Amino acid sequence: MPLLIKNGRVVTATDDYRADVLAEGEVISRIGRSIGPAECPPGTEVIDATGKLVFPGFIDPHVHVHLPFMGTHAKDTWETAGRAALVGGTTTLIEMICPGKTDEPIAALETWLGKARGAAACDFSFHMGVTRFDDLAERQLRQIVERGIRSFKVFLAYKGALGVDDRELYHALRLGAELGVVVTAHCENETLVDERQRELLASGKTGPEFHGPSRPVQVEAEGVRHLMTFAELTGAEVYVVHTSCDEAVVEAVRGIERGVRAHVEVVLPHLLLDHSFTQRPGFEGAKYVMSPPLRDRSQLRRMWSHLRSGTVSTVATDHAPFDFQTQKTLGREAFTKIPNGIPSVQHRVELLYTHGVCEGRIDLRTFVAAASTNAARIFGLRGKGGIAVGGDADLVVFDPDFRGTISAATHQMATDYSAFEGWPVRGRAEVVAVRGAVMVRDGRFIGRPGHGRLVPRG
Ligand code: URP
Ligand code: ZN
Ligand code: ZN
């Protein structure tokens, strides 16, 4: 059904103006100062956006939905994750495909695609995880890129599991450079992590509060420096995921200054949560175990500053949902067995708005750029990330006057806890459309699982 959003304040990464937006047949067909009902096709649904902000659909370029990891599986399905994303205003997710080292890449793509297709209500794409590199993997990676999955993911961490060695890293980056695809990378020096974990456990330091000390900022900075060296020598375009500290950003900037094409991502937990959360009593700290770990408070301020200046291009979540009661507790005896990850796909937009825009840390355009437009540009998501005639009608009517509180009792994610339990939020996605179809109304999901589709990539 055609959709007319009237009287809203349209905010994109570059513009801020009052206009009506008309969507027909999945795309935006007209933007005008005033579009009357007589100018719309019969049956057009009109949404009054007086007093509201109209944003392009938000894009989360780093999530995990299907994730076999650390002896268990992430809790969400594409049905729950897609619904949670949409209720939060995110209309496109890019998921990391994380095959085991012996899995064939094409089989992994089919598995991950099979989970999303028919279940996701939001649109989606993938970063193809390269967890080993040999002739077969290379052949299949080429086919995967031809099928439109135009980005890779490598892990410099997770020794013996998802991590690649330097030979594999070199060849993955060379292939990325040859095929013109961005290589995303988790940057922590895996040997340092491994050795420090052993030392901490041997001295009886087994609780979640020791996860941070096992991977200090130097471990991450060394990982980023390593990636920059390899990118410089291979010519690959790289994207550093979940950068958590100033030391790591500085290494990326040094690479960029030497001519490396590099982008830097921060994830919501590294803007809002500090390491004191992992020190919470009663093993509750396990809820906050993720990698890279939560840092000290001064790092949060520095990451906001990098976001404001544009050094950090994107804000993702690294949504990695594990239950507290049945999954995080796998690490009761040793923090190294706590499944890493913090669920937050639903709350990225409202928390970034509340703590970024409302608290004056970033302006509205930077907010849209970091939460939508830059990811569309870097990863070539066709039709996404803006409000323009001919672009996908992914639209968010956002109510800045809404006041709410986050709770696991009401969230749409499948996990039994929220890392942001009781946190107040200002503003919410009131109406959310994906390619012209209204999926959220009055902040409630009314969409159809399976509406989502694989986004064409340029
Ligand atoms: O702790 C995290 N980040 N868990 C998900 C896997 C990853 O490293 O992205
Ligand atoms: Zn990671
Ligand atoms: Zn991740």
For residue 417, how far is its CA from the centre of ligand 2 (angstroms)?
Answer: 21
Kindly state whether residues 69 and 8 are assigned to the same domain: no
Tell me, what CATH number does 233's domain have? Answer: 3.20.20.140
For residue 153, how far is its CA from the centre of ligand 1 (angstroms)?
Answer: 12
Which residue's alpha carbon is nearest to atom 1 within ligand 1? 290
For residue 45, how far is its CA from the centre of ligand 2 (angstroms)?
Answer: 42
Backbone dihedral angles phi then psi of residue 94, each to the nearest 5 degrees: -110, 120
How far is Cα 332 from Cα 336, in angstroms, rounded to an integer?
Answer: 9
| pLDDT tens figures, 204-262 | 999 999 999 999 999 999 999 999 999 999 999 999 999 999 999 999 999 999 999 99
Tell me which ligand sits closest to the C-alpha of residue 161.
1
How far is Cα 89 from Cα 416, in angstroms, rounded to an integer?
Answer: 22
For residue 282, how far is its CA from the centre of ligand 2 (angstroms)?
Answer: 26
Kindly state whether residues 48 and 63 are assigned to the same domain: no
For residue 240, how far is its CA from the centre of ligand 1 (angstroms)?
Answer: 13
83 lines ligand 1 (CB under 6 A): no
CB distance 109 to 149 below 8 Å: yes
CB distance 80 to 413 below 8 Å: yes
For residue 62, how far is its CA from the centre of ligand 3 (angstroms)?
Answer: 6
For residue 96, how far is its CA from the centre of ligand 3 (angstroms)?
Answer: 7
How far is Cα 384 from Cα 89, in angstroms, rounded to an integer?
Answer: 14
Residue 159: what pLDDT? 84
For residue 223, how far is its CA from the centre of ligand 1 (angstroms)?
Answer: 15
Kindly state whether residues 347 and 405 are assigned to the same domain: no
For residue 86, how far is its CA from the centre of ligand 1 (angstroms)?
Answer: 22
Q: Is 434 within the bounds of a domain? A: yes
Number of domains in the chain: 2
Does this model's pTM top 0.95? My answer is yes
CB distance 209 to 279 below 8 Å: yes
Q: Is 271 within the bounds of a domain? A: yes
End-to-end CA distance of the chain: 28
The position carrying tokens 């355009």 is 365
Kindly state whether residues 423 and 311 are assigned to the same domain: no
Which residue's alpha carbon is nearest to atom 4 within ligand 1? 341
Extract the runs of DSSP E, i.e. beta strands, from 200-344: 238-240, 262-267, 314-316
- Ligand 1 atom with the smallest distance to the CA of 290 is 1
For residue 430, how far is its CA from the centre of ligand 3 (angstroms)?
Answer: 28
How far is Cα 178 from Cα 150, in angstroms, rounded to an integer?
Answer: 12
> What is the β-pairing status of strands 444-445 and 437-441?
antiparallel
Q: Is 386 within the bounds of a domain? A: no
Residue 160: what pLDDT? 86
List the shell of residues around ion ligand 2, using CB closer than 5 Å: 186
Nearest CA to 196 out of 177, 176, 212, 180 is that of: 212
pLDDT-flagged residues of the chain (< 50): none
Kindly state whether residues 267 and 317 are assigned to the same domain: yes
Tell me, what CATH number does 409's domain have? Answer: 2.30.40.10
Report helix, strand or coil for 146. helix
Domain residues for 15? Answer: 3-55+393-445
Mutate to test the pocket of ligand 1, among 66, 318, 322, 345 (most ligand atoms within 8 A of CB): 318
Q: Is 457 within the bounds of a domain? A: no
Extract the runs of DSSP E, i.e. beta strands, from 84-189: 90-97, 123-129, 151-155, 182-186
Tell me which ligand sits closest to the C-alpha of residue 290.
1
- Ligand 1 atom with the smallest distance to the CA of 289 is 1
Which residue's alpha carbon is nearest to atom 3 within ligand 1? 291
186 lines ligand 1 (CB under 6 A): yes
CB-based burial label for 196 (10 Å; 0-12, 13-18, 19+): middle
Kindly state whether residues 374 and 403 are assigned to the same domain: no
* Helix (H) or strand (E) run with residue 296 in it: none
Kindly state whether residues 134 and 238 are assigned to the same domain: yes
How far is Cα 83 from Cα 324, in angstroms, rounded to an integer?
Answer: 21
Kindly state whether residues 217 and 298 are assigned to the same domain: yes
Kindly state whether residues 29 and 70 are assigned to the same domain: no
Distances (CA, A) of 56 to 15, 90, 95: 11, 9, 20
Q: How many CB atoms lie within 10 A of CB 50?
A: 8
Q: Is 263 within the bounds of a domain? A: yes
Kindly state whether residues 50 and 63 are assigned to the same domain: no
CB distance 186 to 155 below 8 Å: yes
- Ligand 1 atom with the smallest distance to the CA of 241 is 9
Kindly state whether residues 76 and 180 are assigned to the same domain: yes
188 lines ligand 1 (CB under 6 A): no
Kindly state whether residues 29 and 130 are assigned to the same domain: no
Out of 325, 355, 379, a domain closes at: 379
Mutate to test the pocket of ligand 1, among 340, 344, 415 (most ligand atoms within 8 A of CB): 340
Tell me which ligand sits closest to the C-alpha of residue 220.
2
Mutate to test the pocket of ligand 1, among 291, 319, 415 (most ligand atoms within 8 A of CB): 291
